[in-house]
Structure 1
Amino acid sequence: MSLARGKTATSATKGLLDKDVELPKGPQDSVSALRWSPVADHLAVASWDGRVYIYDATNSTSTDTIKGVAAFTAGAPCLDCDFSKDGTMAAGAAADKKIHVMHLQSGQTLTLEGHTAPVRAVRFVDVPSANAPIIASGSWDKTVRYWDLRQPQPVATLQLPERVYAMDAAGPHLVAVAADHHLHFANLHTNPVQVWKSLKSPLSAQTRCVSLCAGGTRWAVGSIEGRVAAQVVEEKDKSLASLTFKCHREPSPTTKNQTDVYAVNAICYSPSHKDVVATAGSDSNCVIWDVHTRTRLRTLPKASGPITALSFNRDGFTLAFAAGYDWSKGYMHHKPGTEKIVLHRFAEALK
C-alpha cells in the first residue's frame, strides 16, 4: 500500500527550520554510514575513502561552527560506524575484514581481527553478562562476532546461514539482515550467540538497510525496489500492525505512464518517538513517516544527489544525511568531490 500524502502532522509543519547546515568538507568518497553519539552532538561518518570522521556539531548554526575533531584510517573502504554507549570510543567496519576502534580523548587506535570477509556492520551492544563494552560486527563471512576490547580475539560468534547485508541493535535485540532474504534476531540479554527468531523479509527484493527503534521493540527495512516494511519484534506486542508501503518512486521524465523506482539506501527510527521513521533513497529524497497513522509527515528538500546514509541525533531534533554517488550506475558515473553531509534541524522533535 502507499501511505497517505495529504496528511501532515502539525508538529512537523511548524517544526521545520528554513535552512539546512552543511558540514565542512571531509570524506573524499561516498559516505556509507552516519551515526550520532548517544551522549553528545558528535557525528561519526564512515566513508569509502577508508576513513571514519568525527564531527562536533554542538553548535551547528553554520558550516563554520561545526568542527572536525578526529579521524582514523582503516586503509580500506569503511562500510559502517558507531559510538560506544558513553561516547568515548568510535568504531568502523571495513572491507579489510577488520574493525577499527579509536579512543577519542587520547586518539589511540586498535584493530580487531578475526573475520574472514569484509565487515559490513558494527554496533556497540548491551550484553549484561559481559561486564564490559561489547562490539558486535556483522560480516560477509556469515557471522556476527562479539568483541570484548580487553581481548584481541572475538569472545563469541553468532553463526548465520548467509552474508550480513545490514545490521542494527537496540535494547536487548540485535537484528541481522542476511543474503538469504531473512531477518535474524538474537537476544543480547539471554543468549547472544543463538538466533531466537528468523523472519522472511516481507519485501520481495534485496534488503538494503534495517533499523530498530529505541528499546528494540520494532524494526523497519528498506529494499532496492523502493519499498519499506515495519513490524514489531515480539508477536505479543500489538502496538504496530504489519506494514509495507511503496516509496522513493517518481514519474518517469521521459516515458509516459511509467514510474521510476529508486533504492531505499538508508532507514532510521527517531529516538524520540517509536512511530517516526526516516527513509532516504537514490532519488535524492529524504522522507519522514509516521508508521502508526500510516502518513507521510515530511519530504525534505531534494538533495544534490542520491542520499546514501542518514541518522537522527540523540534527541530527535536533528537529522543528518549524506548525499553523493551510490554506485548504482557503475564506476564510470562516479564524480569525486560531490559528497555532502547536511544537518536538518527541527524546532521540536517530530511526534
Structure 2
Amino acid sequence: MHTTQTPRITNDNLLDSVSEIRFGNNDIFATGAWDGYIRFYQILSQTGIQTQIALDFKSVIDCQEPVLSISWKRDMSMIFAALADNTVRVYDIKTGQNMVLGYHDDCPARQVFWNDELQVLVSLGFDKKLRLWSLKQNTMGMKPSPVYELNLTSIPTVGEQDQNERMFAYADIDCKIKWFSWDKIRGNLNSNISRNIFEIEDSKLGNRSQISTLSISHNSKQMGYCSVDGRGAVMEMNDRLEGQNRIVYKCHKREEDSKQSFKSEKINTYYVVNSLQFNCRSYDWVSTSSSDSTIIFWDLKKKNKITTIPFDAPVIASQVSPDGYFLAYATGYDWGQGLDGIDNRFSNNVGAVFIEKQQLYYV
C-alpha cells in the first residue's frame, strides 16, 4: 500500500460530528467523522453487582477528507472509508497507509460495506451506482474499475448489510425499500445482472417520510427502518427473505407548548431517528437514537418502551456490539433544527452503555 496524504496532528478530540460507528469485534469500535478522522476505541468492562464500563481511546487515522462511512475487514487488519472527495479508500490499521480502492462520479459514496465471502467492498453511491471493488485489482496507475456495477433507479438515502453478510438493503428518496440476497450475485460478478434481483416495497411510513436509518438483524430474520419524522417500522423476513408481519410505531415525539399561539396549546413535535439497532440477545428488542437527545430501548412484542436514556445533545449515530452487550453512540448536532441549531451548544462526544439483562424486556 502507499500513502498520498500528508499527516496532520491527531488526537481523540472530535473537531466535528461523527458520521458512522462500526464495531470490529465485541469491544472495539471505530468512528468516522466529518473532521476527516477515523478513531478507534475499546470498551473496558468490570463485572460486579452492576457492570461498570469505561471507554479507552486507542488510535486515529487521518483521512484529510470528511468521512461519510466506514467498514471493517473481518480480520480487523484494514478499515474502509467513503470520503467526501468521491473516493473509496482502504487503510492499514497498523500503519495508517492507504490506497484508493474505488470512486464514484461527481458525488461521494453514501456508505461502504465489506463482504468477506465475496472478498469485495460494496459502495452505495449518491450517483445512483452500486459498485463492488476488489482488493486484488492492479490499476497500474490508472483509475480503479469496479468488478461489478449496478445502476439504481433513485438516489439512496441509507443502506445496510447484515452481520452474516447474507443480504443487502437500502432505502431511496422515493421512500422505497429494496433488498436482495448475495446468493443472486455470488459467482456472477462478471456478468450483467439486472435490477430484478431486488425485492421492493413501498415504505410503510408513507411516501412523504424520508427514510433516515435502516437496519438488519444479525441473522437477517428482521429488517427495520425509521424516518425523519420520528416513526419506525420493523418487519420479519422469511427464509426466502420476503417481508412479512410488519409493525409500525411512533418512536420519537414530544408534546410541547406551541410557540405560535397566545393561548396555551399543546402540539406534537417529531424528531429525526438517526439510528435503529437490533440485538442478538433478544428477538423482540430494538433501540432508536434520535435528534431529541435520547436513546430508547423498545420491546416490540409488548409494544412498549423498556427504558429511555437522555443526553445533552442529539444522538447522531449508534451501533450495538455483535454479542449484544454494548451500545456505542455519538452525540452532536445533526441539523435536525436547521440553521437555528448552530450555536455551539451541542458538544461532540463518543460513549458507550452496557445493556443489562433487565433492559432487554419490558416488565
TM range (shorter): 0.7 to 0.9
What residue identity is the alignment partner of 2:41? Y
Deviation at 1:201, TM superposition (A): 0.9
What residue identity is the alignment partner of 1:158? L
Residues 235/150 of structure 1: CA separation in 2 closer, same or farther (3 Å cut): closer
Q: Partners in 1 of 2:326 and 2:235 — Cα distance? A: 24
Q: Partners in 2 of 1:188 and 1:163 — Cα distance? A: 21
Residue aligning to 2:154: 162
Pair 1:333-2:345 in alignment: no
CA contact (8 A) 2:257 2:266 kept: no
The TM-score, its normalising length taken from structure 1, stands at 0.83
Residues 26/252 of structure 1: CA separation in 2 closer, same or farther (3 Å cut): same
Residue aligning to 2:84: 95
Deviation at 1:242, TM superposition (A): 0.8
Q: Partners in 2 of 1:295 and 1:238 — Cα distance? A: 26
Picking from 191, 194, 217, the partner of 2:185 is: 191
RMSD of Structure 2 on Structure 1 (CA): 2.5
What residue identity is the alignment partner of 1:141? D
CA contact (8 A) 1:78 1:93 kept: yes
Q: Partners in 1 of 2:131 and 2:240 — Cα distance? A: 29
What residue identity is the alignment partner of 2:205? L
Deviations 1:179-201 (A, max 9, x none): 12111112112226543311111
Residue aligning to 1:296: 305
Residues 82/253 of structure 1: CA separation in 2 closer, same or farther (3 Å cut): farther
Identity %: 24
Larger radius of gyration: 2
Structure with larger RCO (C-alpha < 8 A, sep 6+): 1
Deviation at 1:72, TM superposition (A): 3.1
Deviation at 1:272, TM superposition (A): 2.9
Q: Partners in 1 of 2:41 and 2:74 — Cα distance? A: 17
CA contact (8 A) 2:237 2:244 kept: no
The TM-score, its normalising length taken from structure 2, stands at 0.81
SS of residue matched to 1:215: coil
Deviation at 1:237, TM superposition (A): 7.5
Deviation at 1:56, TM superposition (A): 2.5
SS of residue matched to 1:120: strand
CA contact (8 A) 1:140 1:164 kept: yes
What residue identity is the alignment partner of 1:105? K
What residue identity is the alignment partner of 2:337? K
Deviations 1:301-351 (A, max 9, x none): x11111100111121111111111012233463345710112111344836
Instruction: Give ranges in structure 1 of 5+ residues lacking alignment.
Output: 1-23
Residues 274/81 of structure 1: CA separation in 2 closer, same or farther (3 Å cut): farther
Picking from 18, 22, 27, the partner of 1:41 is: 27
Residues 225/239 of structure 1: CA separation in 2 closer, same or farther (3 Å cut): closer
Residues 162/282 of structure 1: CA separation in 2 closer, same or farther (3 Å cut): same
Pair 1:153-2:145 in alignment: yes
Pair 1:242-2:228 in alignment: no
SS of residue matched to 1:275: strand
Residue aligning to 2:327: 319
Deviations 1:240-270 (A, max 9, x none): 6211001111111445221111111111112
Deviations 1:80-123 (A, max 9, x none): 21212222221222222112221213332222233112111111
CA contact (8 A) 2:91 2:98 kept: yes
Residues 231/157 of structure 1: CA separation in 2 closer, same or farther (3 Å cut): same
What residue identity is the alignment partner of 2:104? H
Picking from 214, 219, 222, the partner of 2:223 is: 219
Residue aligning to 1:4: none
CA contact (8 A) 1:40 1:58 kept: no
Instruction: Give ranges in structure 2 of 5+ residues lacking alignment.
Output: 1-10, 47-51, 138-143, 187-192, 260-264
Q: Partners in 2 of 1:320 and 1:106 — Cα distance? A: 25
Deviation at 1:293, TM superposition (A): 3.2
Residue aligning to 1:8: none
Q: Partners in 1 of 2:356 and 2:291 — Cα distance? A: 27
Q: Partners in 2 of 1:346 and 1:40 — Cα distance? A: 13
> Following superposition of structure 1 onto structure 2, how do residues 22-61 of structure 1 map, counting pairs within 5 Å?
25-37=12-24, 39-58=25-44
The answer to which of 198-207 and 25-34 deviates more is 25-34
Deviations 1:136-195 (A, max 9, x none): 111111111111111242111122101111010113110011112111112112226543
Deviation at 1:41, TM superposition (A): 1.5
Deviation at 1:40, TM superposition (A): 4.3
